Amino acid sequence: MRTAASARIFYGWWNVAASFVGLSLSYAMFTVFAFGTFVTPLEAEFGWSRAEISVALTVTNITIVFCSPLLGWLVDRVGVRRVLIPSIFLMGVAVASMHQMQGNIWHFYLMYLLIPLLGAGTLPLSYSRVIVAWFARRRGIALGISLAGFGVGATLVPPVGQWLIDNYGWRDAYLAFAALIIVINLPLTVLLLRESPRAMGLSVDGDTLPPDDMHAVSADVGLSNAEARKKRSYWLILVSFLLVGFGVTSILAHLVPLLIGRGIAPRVATLYMASLGAGLIVGRILAGYLMDRFFAPYVTAMFLLTMCLGIAALALDIRGPMILLAAVSIGLALGSEISEIAYIVSRYFGSLAFGQIYGIMFAAFQFGSAFGAPAMGLYYDRFGNYVGALWGLSGVVLLAAVLISRLGAYPRRTEDRPAGV
């Protein structure tokens, strides 16, 4: 029934390119990942303690927990472009306004609320919803490439921020980041991102469909959020990714101090952290490739098992090249989780309420993230080491792998029937 559309580039891949750039310049780059580069200059200029400054990250995480389901509901009803384009612009303005920040730390906290609030449209769920609409057979790899932009941004933005601070100061660094958002991200989104293949006379994957099968490209198919909540798979996915979020931030926040505490030089510990970031990028693309070819919950469980083994290896006080192997194995799992959420949600619940359901799952992931790092820190403060916490964390990730592997077969493809049928 389906034949190759043409030899030219399928427009869906331009959406992948726009999403890649958009995610590399999303809200998280200028709050979470660039955060560490601004700690020292803010501490020096305003006299704030590091504990006080770090509260801003908690503000951002909690903001995303509440914004994510609301954003999903909004994009399902008014469309991605109508949310994403103003969100990019307003986020750029908010980042630029950091240039004027003075010594009131509550102003700092307010900005770490406003940047994710105004920039919530740049969450992965917006771009994922577009990719899900354009791809079916190649959905995994398209999601993987798109969402790899998040990892590339996380790798490049911190050193770029440090260079800007060293050469121009922290205030001008914020202005430069704002320029990247408004001059690069905004025009690319306006010019390239299109959320519906049908609106362009195209179909999913660039295939040609007979007229009576055109409902297959509609976004109005699948389960509502209320219907999805009645499914066992909904709660298995939610709890699994909540546990993954707990594990992810625990490792991200404490890997470097853990290694330094074992006598590893700070510069070397930072390199191990960089290898984790490289694994993050590779994991996102690799997971997408594998999910197009194998059962996605098993692929997800496999990546989580690699993370479990990597954490367990750290608990055993490994040394030398084994630390690199553990960091890369953890990074592969860290990189795969966002694309896996998007892919699994689309396969089990369809496109009708994809944004809302994804938003809730991502909120669960963020909720776990908000508590993982503090819990790990509390354990260290009490016992003076990370060993017991690492074993516990390994068990948490193992449980997440077991839960996701219990999802069962995909339901009858919701993309192949209209809503309500």
pTM of the predicted model as reported, rounded to 2 decimal places: 0.78
- Cα–Cα distance between 331 and 280 in angstroms, integer? 5
Structural domain boundaries in the chain:
12-215, 225-408
> Is the CB of residue 135 less than 8 Å from the CB of residue 14?
no
Q: Among residues 25, 50, 24, which one has the least CA distance to residue 36?
A: 50
**Helix (H/G/I), strand (E/B), else coil: 199:** helix
Look at the domain 12-215 and name its fold.
Growth Hormone; Chain: A; (1.20.1250)
Residue 209: per-residue pLDDT = 52
Q: What is the pLDDT of residues 401-412, one digit of tens each?
A: 999 999 988 887
**Superfamily name with CATH number, domain 225-408:** MFS general substrate transporter like domains (1.20.1250.20)
Angle made by CA atoms 373, 374, 378, in degrees to the nearest 5: 120
Q: CA-CA-CA-CA torsion for 403, 405, 407, 409, nearest 10 degrees? A: -170
Q: CA-CA-CA-CA torsion for 289, 238, 380, 29, nearest 10 degrees? A: 60
Q: What is the DSSP string of 265-281?
A: -HHHHHHHHHHHHHHHH
**One fold for both 12-215 and 225-408?**
yes
Q: What is the pLDDT of residues 136-185, one digit of tens each?
A: 888 889 988 998 888 888 778 888 888 898 899 999 999 999 999 999 99
- Cα–Cα distance between 323 and 402 in angstroms, integer? 25
For 317-343, give one letter per residue: b (16+ CB within 10 A) or e: ebeeeebeebbbbbbbbbbbbbbbbbb
- Cα–Cα distance between 376 and 389 in angstroms, integer? 6
Per-chain mean pLDDT for the chain: 84
